Amino acid sequence: MIWWPTEVPTLSHGLITLRPSRESDIQSIYQACQDPLIPKFTTVPANYTMAHAEFFIREKAPQSFLNQSELLLIMEKGVGEDAKFVGPISFHSFDIANESAEIGYWITQEMRGMGIGKIACQLLTDYGFTTMGYKRIQAHVNIDNIASRKLLLASGYTLEGVIRSKVKEDDGRFTDMALFSILNDDWTGL
């Protein structure tokens, strides 16, 4: 049975924290989404505006939590006022009948390559298995996103294969996506 939290949790391991989103994240999200790699490898619009960031934090995140369609957290590195915004990470695309969810994330250009994403992915995966009760967590990654593919493998996920022509791009082309998954039975924890 899948359990849904009554509030967005705060999870931490060392200097990495996953926390609920807040108003002060709007500017950081807007700035990060000016990096062309984020829209290239995610569903973030290519011409990301401040209005997009405001909607994401003020409306989408809280409404998605209330209707149980997405559990969004913000990744941070550091403590207190020195904590640095890393990016969002979430569970979405739930399949309650089959006890599975999809994990997704993006990381700011300044924070890539530091191992933060791996720890954040493991933290949320652990929460999904041990607290929420999922049996399977999966991720769809643009076939060209080598860094994200490495992150998932380092986090304990397995490449299952490639889903051809999975996502339609803004220019009308379709992109292949690599399908990664991890099962509760295979999870060894942090």
pLDDT by residue (tens digit) across 66-115? 999 999 999 999 998 899 999 999 999 999 999 999 999 999 999 999 99
Residue 130, φ and ψ in degrees, nearest 5: -80, -30
pLDDT of residue 96: 93
Domains and CATH numbers, the chain: 11-186 (3.40.630.30)
User: For residue 34, what are the contacts with CB-CB under 8 A and spacing of at least 6?
Assistant: 48
pLDDT of residue 189: 85
pLDDT of residue 171: 81
User: What's the pLDDT band for 168 if we cut at 50, 70, 90?
Assistant: confident
This prediction has a pTM of: 0.95
